[in-house]
């Protein structure tokens, strides 16, 4: 909140001298923020915005009615549902919620890996040295043209990946961005009418041109993008990778599996990363396609059954499950429970069920569940309920049902393969597909607007790659059987406030922050590396200024430094910082010519008070307002200084300073800043330090009644950012007139 306050103060200062009005975007930085008819709490309340990161249509940069006790910074005017409205600027930041988000990588890409765990080799030969495997979507740079080599009829690409690693991959597992996007003005209109944002459209146009029978539907989740990232945080998502850039730490959640970072989650959550023919099937509607067939009685000779027969058989390949008896079980289970048999087969293959000796489907697993229950003779083809230290054992105990202290729902116990295939299909359909989670994507990431389960819960499995790997399996099966030209429906989620596109994290640095900015060898007033908008005051006689900027990370590139010509009384200048991974941050300087360029920071620099953000402290008790005021005016006679009470009333010069008051300083340059006053030891805002303050600090230390905000700051009598017994003793000694505060 402190940095948000500084941002608003700087913006306010820059606007005092301009009449420029802009249509802006802003967003709420806290939840439960009230929107009113006018700029003040006395005005009618329109609504309460219960979530943070709500995007606002800000009419202009100007802040109305500043210095009120309820909203000292002032109020932003909004266009709210077509009407004029106001919101307190303290809870608003201008810009978009996703701008410069450090949690994920928004760098652009030339090409990406387009397959699951694609092998990188030392040369253009499938027998050459194995280097590593790359996840689907890994950004790469193609070095030169394709080269011929053993094991890849399409030719090999020499690539650069993970910043500076070099190797070769088969070109059929590489997508160039330019090759998977297209334009078509008429179809673009159709997609926009369906609700697809512009950033989805080029990929969907390409797919439409290649597969005109496919139907794309935008599923508006009404969820904010950054909230989705937060909602999916934690052990909900795991990855089988040893790369530190993909995992939170090196602690195994399950054997070989680690918690993913928010950056990885963001990539796999972003639907635009999977709008390719191989991965689009994670959005396939997974209900059974009955077509014109009878929906009551299964006919294995019907058109739908024949279609599914070929597809399921192909998914199972040469395994025992490709035998007709099993293929027909999957078709029958799908028909009965309104779930795609192809999906059931893909899930079984994904979970390892095509290996007849795999413990979950062999029927011969001998370990006891909880050391008590035998799971021998049970089957679980979809690994339902399989999680924890020994997921296979737990999943078989689930299949066991009441005999293993579980319920006998979903046709349990699954003590035959047929019962496991049918019962598992019943579970998947009942718990997911027929309950709003009818795509692979929504089953992994429950952001579905129609799911009965709360968002980010009831997610089928933790493997973050599951939707992409299962959809790739489905695609390959459909391709080999010549089924890609059939009609498919894809339900693709859309989120609010999405960034351009998200990439996987890379070893390249994403830091695009400046350590400092100098104008004519002087640090700009109020610089904070997380704030990007500043007003700088220079002498009216200058025709140019020298701008220097120091990056926080030496690998980032800076544009906009050097000698800058001043074009008038106000010059808008941008400094653009590009991180090594391509992330961009723009700092904007509004350079204003004034007769006296003295800033507020210049005035305060020689005083005994300390300023941190919007707080002015290191003020002794029983200090009169006039004492501080005269110290300021002595430094800058042309400055304007006004003091306000906590309720917004102007204070008399001979009133004592107290915690909770405010000071407004306007420098000769025209810059204005407002600070909260903190008097050392004054924890209740009465301007004195007494036994009452001693008791308040004592209760705080005993966790009886906690101090907060400015009162907490006042209790820190030795400025070590901690409230300890030493602060209590110092207040006691002050009361006894043994020391000064």
Asked whether the beta carbons of 334 and 425 are under 8 A apart, the reply is: yes
Closest CA to 507 of 87, 132, 227, 152: 132
How far is the C-alpha of 694 from the C-alpha of 683, rounded, in Å?
9
Ranges of residues in the chain with a pLDDT under 50 are 1-22, 98-100, 102
Please give the model's pTM, rounded to 2 decimal places: 0.54
- pLDDT attached to residue 174: 96
Residues forming beta bridges with residue 239, ordered by sequence position: 258
Provide the 3-class DSSP secondary structure of residue 36. Answer: strand
pLDDT the model gives residue 295:
79
Domains, the chain:
2-94 (2.30.30.40), 111-179 (2.30.30.40), 194-285+439-505 (no CATH), 316-431 (no CATH), 514-597 (2.60.40), 601-735 (1.10.1330.10)
Residue 14 is predicted with a pLDDT of 33
Residue entry with tokens 């959550």? 269
Q: What is the pLDDT of residue 171?
A: 95
Query: Which positions ≥6 away from 737 have C-beta within 8 Å?
Result: none
E-assigned strands of 411-513?
Answer: 489-496
Question: What is the structure's pLDDT at 678?
Answer: 94
Are 287 and 295 within 8 A, CB to CB?
no
pLDDT at 597 (0 to 100): 78
19 contacts: CB under 8 Å, gap ≥ 6:
none
Q: Supply the pLDDT for residue 370.
A: 93
The bridge status of strand 584-594 relative to strand 533-539 is parallel
Q: Provide the pairing of β-strand 615-619 with 672-679.
A: parallel
554 burial (CB, 10 Å; 0-12 / 13-18 / 19+) is exposed
The long-range contacts involving 394-398, CB below 8 angstroms and separated by at least 24 positions, are: 394/369, 395/360, 396/359, 396/360, 396/365, 396/369, 397/369, 397/370, 397/373
What pLDDT is attached to residue 96?
61
As a three-state string, the secondary structure of 184-253 is: CHHHHHHHHHHCCCCCCHHHHHHHHHHCCCCEEEEEEEEEEHHHHHHHCCCCCCEECCCCHHHEEEEEEE
């Amino acid at each position: 909140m402190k940095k948000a306050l500084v941002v608003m103060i700087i913006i306010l200062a820059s606007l005092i001298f301009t009449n420029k009005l802009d249509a802006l975007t802003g967003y709420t930085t806290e939840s439960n923020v009230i929107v009113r008819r006018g700029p003040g709490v006395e005005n009618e309340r329109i609504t309460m915005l219960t979530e943070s990161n709500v995007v606002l249509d800000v009419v202009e940069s100007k802040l109305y009615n500043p210095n009120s006790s309820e909203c000292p910074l002032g109020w932003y005017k909004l266009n709210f549902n077509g009407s004029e409205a106001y919101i307190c600027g303290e809870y608003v930041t201008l810009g978009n919620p996703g701008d410069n988000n450090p949690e994920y990588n928004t760098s652009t890409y030339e090409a990406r890996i387009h397959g699951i765990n694609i092998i990188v080799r030392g040369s253009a030969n499938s027998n050459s040295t194995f280097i590593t495997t790359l996840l689907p979507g890994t950004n790469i740079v193609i070095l030169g043209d394709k080269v011929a080599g053993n094991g890849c009829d399409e030719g090999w690409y020499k690539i650069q990946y993970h910043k500076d690693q070099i190797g070769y991959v088969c070109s059929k597992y590489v997508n160039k961005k330019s090759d998977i996007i297209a334009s078509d003005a008429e179809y673009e209109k159709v997609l926009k009418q369906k609700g697809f944002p512009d950033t989805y459209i080029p990929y969907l146009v390409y797919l439409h041109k290649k597969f005109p029978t496919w139907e794309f539907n935008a599923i508006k989740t009404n969820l904010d993008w950054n909230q989705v990232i937060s909602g999916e945080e934690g052990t909900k998502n795991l990855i089988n990778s040893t790369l530190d850039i993909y995992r939170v730490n090196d602690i195994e959640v399950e054997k070989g599996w680690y918690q993913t970072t928010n950056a990885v989650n963001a990539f796999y959550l972003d639907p635009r990363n999977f709008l390719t023919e191989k991965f689009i099937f994670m959005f396939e509607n997974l209900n059974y396609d009955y077509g014109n067939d009878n929906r009551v009685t299964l006919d294995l000779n019907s058109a739908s059954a024949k279609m599914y027969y070929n597809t399921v058989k192909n998914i199972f390949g040469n395994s025992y499950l490709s035998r007709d008896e099993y293929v027909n079980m999957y078709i029958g289970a799908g028909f009965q429970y309104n779930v795609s048999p192809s999906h059931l087969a893909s899930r079984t293959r994904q979970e390892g069920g095509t290996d007849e000796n795999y413990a979950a489907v062999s029927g011969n697993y001998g370990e006891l569940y909880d050391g008590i229950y035998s799971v021998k003779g049970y089957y679980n083809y979809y690994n339902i309920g399989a999680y924890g230290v020994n997921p296979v054992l737990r999943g078989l105990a689930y299949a066991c049902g009441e005999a293993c202290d579980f319920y006998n729902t979903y046709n349990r116990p699954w003590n035959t393969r047929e019962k496991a295939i049918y019962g598992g299909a019943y579970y998947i359909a009942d718990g997911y597909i027929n309950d709003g989670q009818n795509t692979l994507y929504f089953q992994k990431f429950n952001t579905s607007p129609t799911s009965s389960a709360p968002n980010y819960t009831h997610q089928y499995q933790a493997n973050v790659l599951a939707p992409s790997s299962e959809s790739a399996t489905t695609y390959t099966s459909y391709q080999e059987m010549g089924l890609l030209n059939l009609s498919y429906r894809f339900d693709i989620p859309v989120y609010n406030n999405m960034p351009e596109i998200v990439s996987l994290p890379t070893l390249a640095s994403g830091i695009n922050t400046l350590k400092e900015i100098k104008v004519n060898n002087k640090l700009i007033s109020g610089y904070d590396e997380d704030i990007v908008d500043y007003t700088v005051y220079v002498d009216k006689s200058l025709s140019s200024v020298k701008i220097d900027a120091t990056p926080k990370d030496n690998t980032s590139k800076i544009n906009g430094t050097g000698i800058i010509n001043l074009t008038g009384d106000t010059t808008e200048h941008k400094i653009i910082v590009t991180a090594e991974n391509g992330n961009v941050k723009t700092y904007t300087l509004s350079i204003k010519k004034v007769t006296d360029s003295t800033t507020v920071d210049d005035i305060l620099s020689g005083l005994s008070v300390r300023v941190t953000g919007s707080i002015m402290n290191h003020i002794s008790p029983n200090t009169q307002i006039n004492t501080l005021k005269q110290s300021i005016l002595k430094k800058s006679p042309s400055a304007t200084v006004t003091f306000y009470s906590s309720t917004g009333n102007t204070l008399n010069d001979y009133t004592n300073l107290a915690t909770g008051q405010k000071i407004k300083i306007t420098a000769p340059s025209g810059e204005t800043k407002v600070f909260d006053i903190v008097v050392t030891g004054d924890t209740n805002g009465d301007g004195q330090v007494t036994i009452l303050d001693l008791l308040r600090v004592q209760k705080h230390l005993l966790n009886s009644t906690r101090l907060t905000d400015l009162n907490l700051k006042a209790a820190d009598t030795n400025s070590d950012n901690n409230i300890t017994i030493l602060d209590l003793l110092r207040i006691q000694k002050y009361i006894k007139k043994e020391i000064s505060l």
